[in-house]
Amino acid sequence: MKNEQEIIEIVRKQHMFFNSSITHTYDFRINELKKLKEGIKKFESQFRAALKDDLGKSEFESYITEIGFVLHDLTNTIKHLKKWMKPKRIKTPLLSQPASSQVLFTPLGVNLIISPFNYPIELTFAPLIAAIAAGNTAVIKTSELTPTCSMEIQKLIDEIFDPAYVAYIPGKVPETTLLLKQKFDHIFFTGSPRVGSIVMEAAAKHLTPVTLELGGKSPCIVHSDAKIDIAVNRIVYGKFMNAGQTCVAPDYVMVHQSIKEEFLEKIKQRIITIYGDDASSSPDFGRIVNERHHSRIVNLIDQDKVIVGGQFNKADRYIAPTVMKGVTLDDNVMTEEIFGPILPVMEYGNFDEILDTIAKLPQHPLACYIFSESKTVQHELISRIQFGGGCVNHCIQHFVNPNLPFGGVGDSGIGIYHGFNGFERFSHKKSILKAASWFDLSLIYPPYKGKIKVIRRIMK
Ligand code: NAD
């Protein structure tokens, strides 16, 4: 563990290192990204074992949602970095002529990256990749809830990076609190809205800009014209991946009353088809991160409303994939982000009921999923519901596309990243107008007598 003096010293050294401008060049950034890629490959088996240990993740999920995701992000970033770094030419208005205008992408400086427990590898390295690509330094703090993953991440970072450039700070809340007292140029936080507001409050003291990637209750709407089999396959996939501990998982389903019974029957069958009669023996189904979260999630289950699942085992941190029907906003399961393998299903008759339900919940959803074959229905729901991002006829996939900006809206998050948007998030867009000196437009200088008519003609 690091004490306050050591933390102050690390942040001071990072500011010095950043001010040396070493991190700014393309060559430096690309070398560090390549080094990181080799490091991730080298640590693949350790990460896989750690993810199994902390979260019971299968090899497939560990690769597709964590290790492979990060490698793919690195490949994409390395491939496009030169293009992303190019200054962007911008038009110059007549009154400033002769001149040229451009936007330069300059690094923000020293960043604090705080990651959550649910995708420890992906949600630590994806922001780090963007930070490196944009020419920054970074201090990393991961979650204490996944100690094995945190230990392996620390080993990798300590092995390949100079701490004046990228430093790992082990510890729990006290260490994060000490970090938050320091002056950073940007804080990138992924986690709960509760801690997000602690981070934002601490950042406000130094006027440090923040990116907050938060959570919330993400609705999934299944309209009467949806292809039910497709909807069922994709909702079960999105909900029960990582035992429901996914920020963009469909939190609850609102299904049109005309197809409710068929939907519920099919969802029940689908869970049994892919995880078997007893999901605790499926190699593909994960575990809850710790006992505290296990008890919290179990308390959200109303056994009288369960149509499939409902079993749990504290010693194994197991909760069966569970579906509850006849749920209303008064049920416990609708009072907080579930972040576990429970799928509450509510029914609706018209769109106002959907909008009313969403409006009664505390936050704007981070994600929203709409299953319908009708372009009109899709358009109406997309435009009337305020949410960060989402999919039509799928779940989670908008997160996976590196070309789509990812983030929340309002209280589900501040700022977007992924691919170029991540590079941009960790960059300052520095505007430069380069004026020519071979001509001097006297029109804009006093004395103004007789000039206003011309100005009026130009500026209208
Ligand atoms: P959390 O907010 O409890 O913890 C996140 C980080 O903050 C951890 O590193 C933790 O050590 C630290 N932390 C916890 N308490 C703190 C405090 N009092 N002061 C300072 N730091 C503190 O979140 P979690 O339980 O790890 O993750 C689940 C939450 O994260 C869910 O709400 C989920 O929706 C959200 N999430 C969002 C995204 C996204 O990309 N938008 C991704 C994953 C998870």
Instruction: Using the atom order of ligand 1, give the atom closest to the CA of residue 337.
Output: 32
**Which of 1, 175, 179, 190 should be mutated for ligand 1, with most atoms under 8 A from CB?**
190
Q: Is 339 in the pocket of ligand 1 (CB under 6 A)?
A: yes
Assessment of whether the complete model's pTM goes beyond 0.85: yes
The DSSP bridge pattern shows strands 219-222 and 367-371 to be parallel
Report the side by side order of strands in the sheet with 99-107: 88-90, 99-107, 427-435
Report the side by side order of strands in the sheet with 186-190: 166-168, 137-141, 110-114, 186-190, 210-213, 413-414
What pLDDT does residue 274 have?
97
Alpha helices in 279-327 (DSSP H): 291-298
Bin 207: left if φ > 0, else alpha if -120 < ψ < 50, else beta: left
Instruction: Using the atom order of ligand 1, give the atom closest to the CA of residue 216.
Output: 34
**Which of 1, 54, 118 should be mutated for ligand 1, with most atoms under 8 A from CB?**
118
What pLDDT does residue 105 have?
98
- CA 458 – CA 460 distance, rounded (Å): 6
3-state DSSP assignment of residue 412: helix
Assess whether the previous peptide bond of 170 is cis (omega < 30° from 0): no
Q: Is 340 in the pocket of ligand 1 (CB under 6 A)?
A: no
What pLDDT does residue 340 have?
98
- CA 309 – CA 319 distance, rounded (Å): 8
213 is known as an active-site residue: yes
- CA 155 – CA 149 distance, rounded (Å): 10
Instruction: Using the atom order of ligand 1, give the atom closest to the CA of residue 407.
Output: 41
What is the CA(336)–ligand 1 centre distance, in A?
Answer: 15
- CA 319 – CA 280 distance, rounded (Å): 8
**Structural domains of the chain sorted by starting position, each given as residue range(s) with its CATH number in brackets:** 4-214+411-432 (3.40.605.10), 219-407 (3.40.309.10)
What pLDDT does residue 122 have?
98
Q: Tell me which of 149, 220, 247, 395 is the catalytic residue.
A: 247
For residue 173, the one-letter residue type is V
247 is known as an active-site residue: yes
What is the CA(243)–ligand 1 centre distance, in A?
Answer: 17
What pLDDT does residue 1 have?
81
> What are the average pLDDT values for consecutive 10-residue runs of the chain, which has 460 residues?
93 98 98 98 98 98 98 98 98 96 98 98 98 98 98 98 98 96 98 98 98 97 98 98 98 98 98 97 97 98 98 98 98 97 98 97 95 98 98 98 97 97 98 97 95 95
